[in-house]
Amino acid sequence: MRNFLLFIYRHNFTFLFLILEIVSFYLLINHNSYQRATWLSSSNKVSGNIYNSYSNATQYLMLQQINEELAKENAYLRSQMPASFKDSKDYFSLVYDKLNKRQYTYRSARVINNSVNKHFNYITINKGSLNGIEKEMGVISAKGVVGIIKDVSEHYSSVISLLNTRLKISAKLKGKGFFGALGWDGDDYRYAWLNEIPIHASVSVGDLVVTSGYSAIFPEGILIGTVEEVEKDKGESFYRIKVKLSVDFKDLSFVEVISNNMRDEQLDLESTNND
């Protein structure tokens, strides 16, 4: 025993090294299985506060750009108002009819941390569980899909960016109905790849790629990008489509978080299929 302790003492440098590396590795593996403690993510209080005050400071330098963005968004929202639809009152509806309930709620939030240069990019936003945000809600900006909520603390949430090689989003070609999985390859932050579109579909450069609405996270038809290039390997029965993302991830300041009020209902129903 004495000799053993002496041995450890003499090689304390190596042993400490091994212990620290094992701890690091443990954190790394835990992180990969998505089960790490929330306090280690950037939604925790200290780093959240620092990022928040930093973004408060830089916000002033970008006011003009942000104003422009907000004005554009205003215009977009106005175009969505009932008054801008000609025949919105032409049908009658039952009071308390569940079918007429609003399905999606939007909450705006500000981006306080963001990256595009890693393999696994995450975004931090300044709204959390106190604002009604929950895990696995969709995040969009005025220009298109941004990501999905991953962790929530009281005042902050972290978002898996679309620029994260672990995230796949169900997408389809607008007006065609063929759907596939869209994901990022870790290379250029302006482009993502859409796979699993069958070869008999007609795809042309410039087609719009939108969310499919099958995942219960995003509503149908939210813009993701436009087709930039269509690749077809010999012997393959699926296209590989390069999509130019409509969101500029380097220039992201305001986002909206979508909550699907009927999500649980859909998932409940779908889980019975697996039995």
Partner 1 sequence: MINRLPGYILSFFILVLLQVLVFNNIQFSGYVNPYVYILFIFMLPFETPGYILLILAFILGLTIDLFSNTPGMHSFATVFMAFIRPSLLKAIAPRDDYQPGTTPSLHDYGFVWYLKYTVTLTLIHHTILFFIEVYDLSHIFSTLWRIILSSIFTLIIVFIAQLFVFKKNKRR
**What residues line the site for partner 1 (CB under 8 A)?**
12-13, 16-17, 20-21, 23-32, 36, 40-42, 44, 46-47, 50-51, 54, 113, 115-120, 122, 158, 186-189
Smallest gap from residue 273 Cβ to partner 1 (A)? 33
- Distance of closest approach, residue 29 Cβ to partner 1, in angstroms: 8
Amino acid residing at 251: D
* E strands present in the chain: 104-113, 120-125, 138-141, 144-152, 157-164, 168-173, 179-183, 191-198, 208-211, 223-231, 238-245, 254-260
CA distances (Å), 114 to each of 221, 224, 252, 253, in order? 25, 18, 8, 9
Q: Which is nearer to partner 1, 10 or 78 (CB)?
A: 10
CB of 177 to partner 1, least distance (A): 33
Nearer to partner 1 by C-beta: 242 or 263? 242
Q: Report d(CA 265, CA 186) in Å as an integer.
A: 35
Of 16 and 77, nearer to partner 1 (C-beta) is 16
In the bound state with partner 1, the residue whose beta carbon lies nearer, of 165 and 226, is 165
In the complex with partner 1, the residue whose CB is nearer, 26 or 106, is: 26
Our measurement of the distance from residue 261's CA atom to the centroid of its chain's CA atoms, rounded to an integer in Å, reads 18
Choice between 20 and 130, CB closer to partner 1: 20
Least distance to partner 1 from the beta carbon of 240, Å? 16
Q: Please report how close the Cβ of residue 164 comes to partner 1 at its closest, in angstroms.
A: 10
Nearest to partner 1 of 32, 88 (CB atom):
32
Q: Which residues contact 105 (CB under 8 A, 6 or more apart)?
A: 258, 259, 261
Cβ at position 165, least distance to partner 1 in Å: 9
Alpha carbon distance 9, 3 (integer Å): 10
Cβ(158)–Cβ(122) below 8 Å: yes
Cβ at position 77, least distance to partner 1 in Å: 30
Shortest distance in whole angstroms from residue 115 CB to partner 1: 7
Residue type for 93, please? S
- The CA-CA-CA angle for residues 56, 36, 109, to 5°, reads 30
Q: 161 and 146 in contact (C-beta within 8 Å)?
A: yes
Whole-number Å distance between alpha carbons of 172 and 169: 10
| DSSP H or E run through 32 | helix 12-32
The first and second tokens of residue 260, run together, are: 């699907």
Residue 23 or 75: the one with the smaller Cβ distance to partner 1 is 23
